[in-house]
Structure 1
């Protein structure tokens, strides 16, 4: 699902990469495993390497839930217990090559708030503003939840957003949920690209 604009994209100052929730609990064998979550990691690493090489910032979000988070089934939420703060399942995937300079953004760390969007943590917008970021490149897990809400908030805040189509994995409770989320993001102004689109 590409939009008509196929011109190559040159990374520049004012760009930032956001890697969403590439955590053990969302990978095969995890508490809330997302099909194909492990398969996107080499592509995510390739994007990270491009940003490091261009001396541009990399942000990594992580679900960091209290043990009684509202999204958990025991609290009448839709999900099994996952990504509890400090747990093994909340750790980033071992094969994810985050730089030492990565900016960590914890989400869902308040028991009563879902925390799907990384912008629910005010640290993210503050750090983006301080770095004079104008364009966001977003990838990760899951397309139909945390990626979707993070991108929608970014667009509402007037960032230009590039959705990294080859580095996404969706929960797909319904088979087309991921594709529908991509359509929504594109309709609201995100441009869907792949690694090959970066010059």
Structure 2
């Protein structure tokens, strides 16, 4: 095999195309054979999750007139196909990570990625290719991916267009023939002429399982980056001289927990920027989220390292106040401290209601849902240091 096209499994990402309820047998616009490849897709997704390699679910959502020409008349006429927020627009349950919740149509239609799990996102594509008017290429580059593994629904249309666009971006490409519906020998021959590797689920899973240690290396690299940041930040912030704790250990002994805001790389970066600008001094999560993850509630004096959307450590904060109240009783003062939108209580409620419904489901959230309201102070970087680091 040509060394320029041979897959690099350890730096690969799985791209699953259009496997939504409306596109399988029994849906509003079924594509023959899609239901039959779902078990194979499950194996692929689980293998990538176990290896810690990225998974991207690319979806269609038909809203307004931003629809490919061949379907525009039907959609304008009211065809009930992958409409925003409908059950038919959802990913098949078998492929969704536990606790991911429903797709956020508003977020996806804005062109942003929705985080479903660690290194697993959903993207909306307005036309055939997963690269057209989407942040897919940016995400792949951020993950240091040079190989895309494509599978999913209706090979002649969206998977094929995605494969061609990936090849045009000098990415190594694999198509999983027995995890993609409507595959033909002629179609595989044509993409094979572009240097695309045709592989079976068995072959891909076997290859990915062999590179699981590479994913571990990624985790170790991030852990080393967090430790290096912690060593610098605690000296700058004089943490060793403060009476603070990280979990059950003295603050200066080990790095505190490292995490990012929100449920997408975009949101992580957006909210981190507010913290670094001094505008955001509070955050909130629903109590059911803590309970579902078996996580302890934040405590006063606790330290945290904030990560950006790519997982890089960027800030050190200390919790100064924690209170749990019903969603409907969160105050205007706290909403302003969160620093988001126009900082009004109305804006806070709109944004957080949408977020909590996405994470918990509509039936799991109402105005009585307990919300953990946490206030914090920024210890590192200081405003002057952050300005130095970000000024060209």
Q: In the alignment, what sits opposite 1:74? A: 73
CA separation in 2, counterparts of 1:75 and 1:30?
16
* Pairwise CA distance, 1:31: 1.7
> Are residues 1:150 and 2:149 paired?
no
Cα distance, 1:196–1:75 mapped onto 2, change above 3 Å:
closer
Work out which of the residue numbers 115, 121, 131 in structure 2 matches 1:103.
121
Q: Let me know the Cα RMSD of the aligned residues.
A: 2.5
Name the counterpart of 1:85. 84
The answer for the alignment partner of 1:26 in structure 2 is: 23
* SS of equivalent residue, structure 2 residue 156: helix
Q: How far apart, CA to CA, are the structure 2 residues paired with 1:132 and 1:29?
A: 38
Unaligned runs of 5+ in 2: 2-6, 98-115, 208-392
Distance 1:192 1:84 in 2: 33
Which has more helix, going by share of residues? 2
Structure with larger RCO (C-alpha < 8 A, sep 6+): 1
Q: Deviations over 1:105-144 (max 9, x none)?
A: 1011xxxxxx100101331011011111001111001101
**Deviation of 1:76 (Å):** 9.4
Structure 2 residue aligned with 1:162: 174
Q: Would you say how many aligned residue pairs link Structure 1 and Structure 2?
A: 179
Q: Give distance in 2, aligned partners of 1:179 and 1:21.
A: 21
Q: Which runs of 4+ in 1 moved over 4 A?
A: none
Residue 57 of structure 1 is matched in structure 2 by 54
For 1:88 and 1:58, the matched residues in 2 are separated by 22
Kept in 2: contact 1:105–1:121 (CA 8 A): no
Q: CA 1:148/1:10 → structure 2, altered by over 3 Å: closer, same or farther?
A: closer
Quote the Cα distance in structure 2 between the aligned partners of 1:57 and 1:145: 23
8 Å Cα contact 1:136-1:162 kept in structure 2:
yes
CA distance in 2 between counterparts of 1:86 and 1:179 reads 36
Greater gyration radius: 2
Contact 1:21 1:63 in 2 (8 A): yes
Query: Following TM superposition, by how much is the alpha carbon of 1:93 offset from its aligned partner in structure 2, in angstroms?
Result: 1.2
Q: Secondary structure at the match of 2:135?
A: helix
Q: Bigger shift: 89-98 or 53-62?
A: 89-98
Task: Report the TM-score, using the length of structure 2 for normalisation.
Answer: 0.42
Partner of 1:6: none
Deviation at 1:53? 1.3
Secondary structure of 2:136's match?
helix
| Structure-2 separation of matches of 1:107 and 1:58 | 16
Kept in 2, the 8 Å contact 1:18–1:60? The answer is: yes
Structure 1 position 52, deviation (Å):
1.1
> Contact 2:146 / 2:171 at 8 angstroms: preserved in 1?
yes
TM-score for the superposition, normalised by structure 1: 0.80
1:72–1:81 Cα contact (<8 Å) kept: no
